[in-house]
Amino acid sequence: MGRIVHVELTSADPERAVDFYRAAFGWESAASPYVDGYLLTATGSGDGIDGAIMSREHQSQAAIVWLQVEDLEATRTAVVAAGGSVVGEPQEIPGQGSVGYVRDPEGTLLGLRQPV
Instruction: Compute the distance between CA of residue 97 and CA of residue 106 in angstroms, rounded to an integer.
Output: 27
C-alpha distances in Å from residue 20, one per residue of 6, 8, 13, 68, 69: 19, 15, 11, 28, 31
pLDDT value, residue 1: 67
pLDDT value, residue 24: 86
Task: Give the pLDDT band (50/70/90) at residue 100.
Answer: very high
Query: pLDDT digit string (tens) for 1-30?
Result: 689 999 999 999 999 999 999 998 899 999
pTM of the model: 0.83
Query: pLDDT digit string (tens) for 53-92?
Result: 999 988 989 999 999 999 999 999 999 999 999 999 999 9
Instruction: Compute the distance between CA of residue 90 and CA of residue 67 in angstroms, rounded to an integer.
Output: 14
